[in-house]
Structure 1
Amino acid sequence: MAKKANQKKDKPIEVSLWESANKLRGSVEPSEYKHVVLGLIFLKFVSDKFEEHRAKLIAEGKGKYIEIPEFYNMSNVFFLKEISRWSYIQEKAKQDDLALIIDTALHTIEKDNKSLKGALPDNYFSRLGLESSKLASLIDEINEINTLKDKEQDVVGRVYEYFLSKFALAEGKGKGEFYTPKSIVNLIAEMIQPYKGIIYDPACGSGGMFVQSVRFIESHNGNKKEVSIYGQEYTNTTYKLAKMNLAIRGISANLGAKAANTFSDDQHKDLKADYIMANPPFNQKDWRGENELLDDPRWEGYDVPPKSNANYGWILNMASKLSDNGVAGFILANGALSGGGDEYKIRRKLIENDLVEAIVIIPRNTFYTTDISVTLWILNKNKKERVVEINGNVRYYRNREKEVLFMDLRRWGQEFEKMYVELSGDEIAKVAENYHNWQQKEYGTVYNNIPEFCYSAHFDEIAANDFSLVPSKYIEFIDQDSGIDFDAEMKRIQKDFRELLKEERASQEELVNAFKILGYEL
Structure 2
Amino acid sequence: MVNHVNFIWNIAESLRGPFKPSEYGSVVLPFTVLRRLDAVLADTKAEVLKVVPAVEKLPEMLQTIKLTEASGHEFYNTSAFDFAKLVADPQDLRANLSAYLAGFSPNVRDIFDRFEFDKTLNKLAEKNKLFSVTEKFAQADFHPRAVSNIEMGLVFEELIRWANERSNETAGDHYTPREVITLMVELLFALDDDALSKPGAVRSIYDPTAGTGGMLSVADDYLRTLNPGIQLSLYGQDYNDQSYAICKADMVIKGQDVDNIALGDTLTEDAFEDKKFDYGLSNPPFGVDWKDQRQFVEDEHAKLGFNGRFGPGTPSVSDGAMLFLLHLVSKMRRPEDGGARMAIVLNGSPLFSGGAGGGESNIRKWLLDNDLVEAIIGLPKDMFYNTGISTYIWVLSNRKDADRKGRVQLIDGREMFTKLRKGLGSKRNELSAQNIETIVGLYSGFEDGEHSKIFRNEDFLYRTITVERPLKLNWQATPERIDAVFEAKAVQKLSETDAAALRAALDRLATPPAVERAERAETPRTWKNRAEFQKTLKEAAKAEGLTLGAPLLKTVTMELGEQDDTADVCRDAMGNPEPDASLRDTENVPRDEDIDAYVAREVLPYAPDAWVDHAKTKEGAEIPFTRHFYTYVPPRPLEEIDRDLEAVMDQLRAMLEEVER
TM over 0.5: yes
- The whole-number CA distance in structure 2 between the counterparts of 1:11 and 1:321 is 37
Write the mapping of 1:67-466 to structure 2, written as runs, cut at 5 A: 73-74=71-72, 76=73, 79-80=76-77, 83-92=80-89, 94-95=90-91, 98-110=93-105, 116=108, 118-121=110-113, 124-128=116-120, 129-132=122-125, 133-143=128-138, 145-148=140-143, 151=147, 154-193=150-189, 195=196, 196-221=202-227, 223-225=229-231, 227-252=232-257, 254-255=259-260, 259-288=263-292, 291-296=295-300, 297=304, 298-324=308-334, 325-340=339-354, 341-383=358-400, 397-415=401-419, 418-419=422-423, 420-438=428-446, 448-451=447-450, 453-463=451-461
Q: Distance in 1 between matches of 2:146 and 2:632?
A: 51
- Asked if the contact 1:272/1:323 (under 8 Å) is kept, the reply is yes
Deviations 1:312-369 (A, max 9, x none): 1111111222122221101112232221243233223322332211111223343333
User: Percent of aligned pairs with the same residue?
Assistant: 23
What SS does the corresponding residue of 1:332 show, helix, strand or coil? strand
**Which whole-Å CA distance do the structure 1 matches of 2:310 and 2:116 have between them?**
42
Cα offsets for 1:367-413 (capped at 9, x unmatched):
33333342111111233xxxxxxxxxxxxx32333321111222323
Change (3 A) 1:152 1:198: closer
1:469 equivalent to 2:460? Answer no
Unaligned runs of 5+ in 1: 1-9, 58-62, 384-396, 439-447, 482-522
Instruction: Report the AA paired with residue 388 of structure 2.
Output: D
Is the Cα contact below 8 Å between 1:229 and 1:253 reproduced in 2? no
Q: CA deviation at 1:290?
A: 5.2
What SS does the corresponding residue of 2:129 show, helix, strand or coil? helix
Residue 475 of structure 1 and its aligned partner are, at CA, apart by 2.9
Q: Which residue is 1:511 aligned to?
A: none
Return the alpha-carbon distance in structure 2 between the equivalents of residues 131 and 229 of structure 1.
Answer: 34
TM superposition shift of 1:261: 0.9
1:416 CA displacement: 5.1
8 Å CA contact 1:356–1:378 kept in 2: the answer is yes
**RMSD value, Cα:** 3.5
Q: Distance in 2 between matches of 1:406 and 1:124?
A: 45
TM-score, normalised on structure 2? 0.58
The letter for the 1-side match of 2:130 is L
2:240 partner letter: T
Distance in 2 between residues matched to 1:90 and 1:77, nearest whole Å: 27
Structure 2 contact 204–233 (Cα < 8 Å) conserved = yes
- Paired residue type of 1:334: G
Please state how far the C-alpha of 1:260 moved relative to its aligned partner.
1.2
CA distance in 1, matches of 2:250, 2:283: 17
Query: Aligned partners of 1:417, 1:102: CA distance in 2, in Å?
Result: 43
Instruction: Please give the TM-score of this superposition, normalised by the length of structure 1.
Output: 0.72
8 Å Cα contact 1:168/1:368 also seen in 2: no
The residue type paired with residue 220 of structure 1 is L
Match of 1:42 among 29, 33, 38: 33
- Deviation of 1:43 after TM superposition, in Å, equals 1.4
The verdict on how the C-alpha distance between 1:14 and 1:254 changes in structure 2, with shifts beyond 3 A counting, is same
CA distance in 2, matches of 1:346, 1:64: 55
Q: CA separation of 1:142/1:315 partners in 2, compared to 1, >3 Å: closer, same or farther?
A: same
Rate the CA distance shift 1:407–1:22 in 2: closer, same or farther, 3 A: farther
Question: Compared with structure 1, are the counterparts of its residues 282 and 174 closer, same or farther at alpha carbon in structure 2 (3 Å cutoff)?
Answer: farther
Structure 2 Cα separation of the partners of residues 122 and 188 of structure 1: 29
1:31–1:270 CA distance, 2 compared to 1 (3 A): farther
Contact 1:405 1:454 (C-alpha < 8 Å) held by counterparts: yes
Distance in structure 2 (CA, Å) of the matches to 1:156 and 1:40 = 13
- CA shift in 2, pair 1:84/1:329, >3 Å: farther
How far off its partner does 1:14 sit?
Answer: 2.7
Displacement of 1:288: 3.8
Task: State whether residues 405 and 457 of structure 1, in contact with CA within 8 Å, keep that contact through their aligned partners in structure 2.
Answer: yes
* Residue identity opposite 1:234 in structure 2: Y
SS of corresponding position for 2:381: coil
Quote the residue 2:614 is aligned against. none
Cα distance in structure 1, aligned partners of 2:436 and 2:70 = 41
> Size of the alignment, in residue pairs?
433
Equivalent position SS for 2:113: coil
